[in-house]
Amino acid sequence: MQRYFTKLSEVPADYQLEPQIFHHAIRVMRAKEGQMFELVDQQQRVKLMKLTRVFANQAFAKTLKTSLPQVELPVRVTILAGLIKNSKPDLLIQKATELGAAKIIFFNADFSVAQWKEQKVAKKLVRLQKIAQGAAEQSHRTQVPLINFVTELKKFDFSNYQFKMAAYEESAKQGERQNLSLIIQKVKQELTRQQTKPALVAVFGPEGGLSMAEVAYLQRQGCCLSGLGPRIMRAETAPWYLLAALSFALELG
Amino acid sequence: MQRYFTKLSEVPADYQLEPQIFHHAIRVMRAKEGQMFELVDQQQRVKLMKLTRVFANQAFAKTLKTSLPQVELPVRVTILAGLIKNSKPDLLIQKATELGAAKIIFFNADFSVAQWKEQKVAKKLVRLQKIAQGAAEQSHRTQVPLINFVTELKKFDFSNYQFKMAAYEESAKQGERQNLSLIIQKVKQELTRQQTKPALVAVFGPEGGLSMAEVAYLQRQGCCLSGLGPRIMRAETAPWYLLAALSFALELG
C-alpha cells in the first residue's frame, strides 16, 4: 500500500491531503474516493486512511486504524560521510535509508574530489531529502532520515553521541577484526537498560579514504577505529555494511 | 596497487602480460618498466609483480613476492536472484562482489518484469562477468564471482548446497526474526569441523517478490524462509544485507 509522511503530529478527523501528498496520490496515482493509503505522522504512528472526498484541487480522508509498528533500528545511527562523486550521494542515501539510518551527513573530506559550491548546498539538500523520503516510504519506515551537510569535519558536534566509530581501511588491512563487534556488544548492553534510544555516529571517508589528520582528529573526538571485514569496499558500500551488521546483531535472533 | 586476475594457475618466471592485462596496465594506466602490480592466480595466490620489459605490443614481468591473503568469506555464498530491471543487475553484482559473493545467478522469476532474450544471454553474461571482475580487482578479492543465468528456478540444482535459504518479505512482515541467525549459527558450527568450505545458496525475488508457487517450490528444495529485519528492502539491497550479516557474524569479533 502507498505510504506517505505527513508533517502533522496529529492527524485531524477530517484530514485534508497536504499538497505533495495530494499531487502524488490523486494526480500521479489517480486514487479515487474509497481508496486507502497509509499516513505516518510525526510521532511515527501509522494511520490507515480512506479517501472520503476527492475534488479537482483538494481531497480529504479519514483514519480507519492507527498502529505503531516497530520498524526502526533500536539505535539511532548517523552516517557521517566524506563527500563522494557524481550521483553516489543519491545511491548512498537511498540504500542507507532502506537499511535504517537516522541521519546522513556529508562533509568536505581532505580527499574529497567532489566539491559542493556553497550557494548550491541548500538546493542539493532539498533534492537529497526527497530521495530519503521516497526511500523511507518504499521501505515502510516510520521515520525519514535527516540529510545534511557540514563544510568540514570540525563543524560536526560529536558530543551528542554515546557511541562513536570511524570505518578505517588501514585498520582492516592490519587485520583489526574486533572493534565493530565490541561496539555492538556495548550498544546491546545499553539497550537492556535503555530509557532513550542510544545514538551512534559512524564516520566514513570519500573515495580516497580518510586522511591521517582526519583519523587523528576523529580519535581525539572519541571515535573507535573499526575495520569492516577483509575486503575493500567502495565509499558508498561501507555504510550499508555497517547498517546491515547493526540490524542483524540487534534486530534478528 | 592495481590488481589483476590471471587465467593461469602457475605464473611463469618470465610472465608475459595477457592481452587484457597488457591493455589496461600499459595502454590505460601507462605503467613503465620497474613499476609494480598485483596478479592473482587461479589458486588465489597474490603475486607482487614488477614490470621488467615493456614493448609496443607486449610486456613482461617477474614475481617479487607471493602471498595467500585470507580475504574470502569462510562460506561460499551463491546469490540466486530473480531477474531485475534495467541496470539493477549491474549494481547488484558490483556490490555483492565487494561484499564477498562467490556466485551470482539470475533466474526468470514469476514476477520478473525484465526479460532477457535467449539470443542475448551470452552477451549479457560476458558484460556482467566483466563488472564482477572489475569489482573483485577493486575490492582486492582473490576470487572473481561467477555470474550466470538460468531460464527458470527449476533449472537450478540445489543439491550441491549444504545451506539453503530464501529471503521472504512475508516472513519479515509476520515478524520472523530468528531463521537467519539460526542458519548462521549452523554455518559457524560447520566451520569448526571444516574440511572444505561450506556452500550456502540464498534466493531473492525480483521487484515484485517471490510468488507463492516459487516459495512452495523453494521450501520443497529445503530452503529455509528467512526475514531480513523489519524494513522492506528493494530487490538488489536484500542480498547485500545478507552478505554483510554473514561477514559480520563469521569474520568479525
Tens-digit pLDDT profile for residues A134-165: 999 999 999 999 999 999 999 999 999 999 99
Query: In this prediction, what percent of chain A has a pLDDT beyond 90?
Result: 92
Tens-digit pLDDT profile for residues A192-244: 987 889 999 999 999 999 999 999 999 999 999 999 999 999 999 999 999 99
Comparing A86-100, A104-118, A169-183, B28-42, the range with the smallest average pLDDT is A169-183
**Taking all residues of chain A, what is their mean pLDDT, rounded to a whole number?**
95
For chain B, residues with pLDDT lower than 70 are: none
Residues of A with CB under 8 A from a CB of B: 69-71, 95, 98-100, 138-141, 177-178, 180-182, 227-234, 237, 240-241, 244-245, 247-249, 251-253
Interface test with A, best of B44, B248, B250, B251 (most A CBs within 10 A): B248
Nearest residue in chain A measured CA to CA from B227? A252
Nearest residue in chain B measured CA to CA from A143? B231
Q: Does the pLDDT value for residue A187 go beyond 90?
A: yes
Topology of domain B76-251, CATH: Alpha/beta knot (3.40.1280)
The band of A171, judged by pLDDT with boundaries at 50, 70 and 90, is: confident
Q: Give the model's pLDDT for residue B197.
A: 92
Q: Does the pLDDT value for residue A56 go beyond 80?
A: yes
Q: How far is B247 from chain A (nearest CA, A)?
A: 7
Cβ separation of A139 and B99 shorter than 8 Å? Answer: no
Domains of chain A, by residue range, sit at 3-67, 76-251
Q: Does the pLDDT value for residue A68 go beyond 90?
A: yes
Nearest residue in chain B measured CA to CA from A236? B95
Tens-digit pLDDT profile for residues A3-13: 999 999 999 99
- Cβ contacts of B251 on chain A, cutoff 8 Å: 177, 229-230
DSSP symbols for chain A = --EEE-S-SS--SSEEPPHHHHIIIIIIS---TT-EEEEE-TTS-EEEEEEEEE-SS-EEEEEEEEE----S-SSEEEEEEE--STTHHHHHHHHHHHTT-SEEEEE--TT------HHHHHHHHHHHHHHHHHHHHHTT-SSPPEEEEESSGGGS-GGG-SEEEEE-HHHHHTT--SHHHHHHHHHHHHHHT-SS--EEEEEE--TT---HHHHHHHHHTTPEEE---SSPPPTTHHHHHHHHHHHHHHH--
What is the predicted ipTM?
0.95
Cell triple for A159: 558530543
Q: Give me the CATH code for the B3-67 domain, please.
A: 2.40.240.20
Q: Give the model's pLDDT for residue A240.
A: 98
Q: Give the model's pLDDT for residue A178.
A: 94
